[in-house]
Chain A
């Protein structure tokens, strides 16, 4: 994070982290586990169920992450960038599997 960014006031920083934890964490927990599920050589029901079971572990870790990192920009970045990557990959794999363009 560049030093030139203005410091966020404390309350705003906390509020931003809370939203990042709840929403960003949610987005990560519905994108990362499905990718893990899809990468397993199992049926789609098993893959979905595996993802469902892992999602709360990812959510918890994401929640802690949002409050552990140095500033709230990092919290958002660390949650949304992997979400975007995982989500894209998952959709790609799904579209290849079902034979329809993404």
Chain B
């Protein structure tokens, strides 16, 4: 341990990085993909119809938007009232009055489909049943409801960043929590040791020596530093009650967590089910009135205790509504049997509670439209680069004299940093290649990710060190470039279909896969051209 404040902070920064960079990288990559989890869901459920889009000149926050719904015979125009009625008719026809709640979700830019959801009641031993959903399609003549293939989708991928996989819940929470805290330690110590933060910001010495990796590490860190601090700190806030339990216990006693939550985030107690049936008032006129009143897009409605005397209907405002700065989605609450408006739908938080909800909303990018959403993704990617380049810089500095020092670490880093994207590509491949009707497919999609990622570790130790990174870049390029092709061969939701229909969200997935492939292809090209410089820091073209 060196003396001196900066030196000891540098020591800490280095060791936190060495020991935890792999887990942090995994959390950053999977978390960043989470900003597109709806979009990934759509691609991974190819049975869902193509995008239902608002008719030109009719925005979803006008009082009666019209949607263009794709069908075999070309696009059919449907009003929102008609779509809602379709959903309600289906829910009524299913005979699921015993469900805890029903939901109708209207097409948004991100979701692009009409669907219904319902929560079956708990089993006899109180076990939670899986939420069910069906998607509306006009591909038949009169409209049909279909259930897409079973898949973890974007949500399972996104869950990885706090729940990991294969680990018990508590172990995962504490590991992710510890890593997040150390990430914050890493960020603060990084700023402390970075003396010339402004001058270095404009310094980039590419492909020279190990110093280039430091420049790269610095620039990726500084560019999105406010984002990294926000994302890491707000990430910790999610765990606050779990990790800092004694703070709550001191005020509220051993079993006081419920009381605390109730006091801090007051919510209207949901009315209980009475068991007395009562028909529900028509939903469409209420929706139209609510739309006029709020002037913001409403895209979800939920009915608690459907068909009961105490049934409650709520309309949720679109998630990009500024209400999200205040926390939970704003909603309007009604007595479903009479259509009477009730108080307590809106949730407003005060003081620390609104700070907490704002931090959580910031973390999840709840209010982000397309531009901001992409900015979130790029900032997240900068975070992954920050972690990877920092690690590689540490390694390269130790290899300046002896190229083959720390060879195992280099193999490990290659498999972690460039092997993980291959594993993620495998997750998408598995979605298309596993039989669509097979019940084990969702679990095996995820197994595919970890099996393939595991294989990259084997490969990393089998291949010679010199071409290792290039091999991984090439594999990534192939895995991602072929993904749209696999899509074409296995479904009819390929790039041609989505582009012809103007379904940019669905096309966006395939296009992004191609862009990722292009980046890895470029890296493969670079590393083969300057393979020696990549590894040793000396520029030497060996392509000729």
Count residues on chain B whose CB falls below 8 Å from chain A CBs.
Answer: 36
Q: Which of A34, A52, A64 has the most CB of B within 10 A?
A: A52
In the complex the two chains form, is B1's CB within 8 Å of A46's CB?
Answer: no
Contact of A56 among B236, B246, B251, B350 (CB under 8 A): B236
Does B168 belong to the interface (CB within 8 Å)?
no
Stretch at the interface among B72-80, B182-190, B523-531: B182-190
Does B503 belong to the interface (CB within 8 Å)?
no
Tell me the bound Cα distance from A52 to B246 in angstroms: 10
Instruction: Report B-chain residues with C-beta under 8 Å of the C-beta of A53.
Output: 237, 240, 352, 355-356, 359
Q: How far is the CB of B311 from chain A (nearest CB, A)?
A: 31
Does B450 belong to the interface (CB within 8 Å)?
no
Stretch at the interface among B2-10, B34-42, B290-298: B2-10
Given A48-B247, A52-B247, A60-B181, decide whether A68 and B8 contact each other with a Cβ distance below 8 A.
Answer: yes
Does B343 belong to the interface (CB within 8 Å)?
no
Instruction: Report A-chain residues with C-beta under 8 Å of the C-beta of B11.
Output: 67
Does B516 belong to the interface (CB within 8 Å)?
no
Count residues on chain A whose CB falls below 8 Å from chain B CBs.
Answer: 33
In the complex the two chains form, is A45's CB within 8 Å of B260's CB?
Answer: yes
Q: How far is the CB of A60 from chain B (nearest CB, A)?
A: 5
Tell me the bound Cα distance from A10 to B264 in angstroms: 46
Main secondary structure of the interface of B (DSSP, over half): helix
Q: How far is the CB of A102 from chain B (nearest CB, A)?
A: 12
Instruction: Report A-chain residues with C-beta under 8 Å of the C-beta of B248.
Output: 48, 52
In the complex the two chains form, is B236's CB within 8 Å of A67's CB?
Answer: no
Tell me the bound Cα distance from A100 to B181 in angstroms: 36
Contact of A46 among B8, B240, B353 (CB under 8 A): B353
In the complex the two chains form, is A45's CB within 8 Å of B12's CB?
Answer: no
Does B504 belong to the interface (CB within 8 Å)?
no
In the complex the two chains form, is B250's CB within 8 Å of A64's CB?
Answer: no
Contact of B1 among A10, A33, A94 (CB under 8 A): A10
Chain A 44-80 interface 0/1 with B at a Cβ cutoff of 8 Å (1 = within): 1111111111011101100110011010000000000
In the complex the two chains form, is A42's CB within 8 Å of B351's CB?
Answer: yes
Interface residues of B (CB under 8 A from A): 1, 3, 5, 8-9, 11-12, 181-182, 184-185, 188-189, 192, 233, 236-237, 240-241, 244, 246-248, 250-252, 260, 263-264, 350-353, 355-356, 359
- Subset of 9 A-B contacts with CB under 8 Å: A42-B352, A46-B350, A46-B351, A51-B244, A52-B241, A60-B181, A60-B188, A64-B9, A67-B9
Interface residues of A (CB under 8 A from B): 10, 13-14, 17, 29-30, 33-34, 42-53, 55-57, 59-60, 63-64, 67-68, 70, 90-91, 94
Please give me the 6 A-B residue pairs with the lowest Cβ-Cβ distance, nearest first. Answer: A45-B263, A49-B352, A45-B264, A52-B240, A56-B236, A67-B12
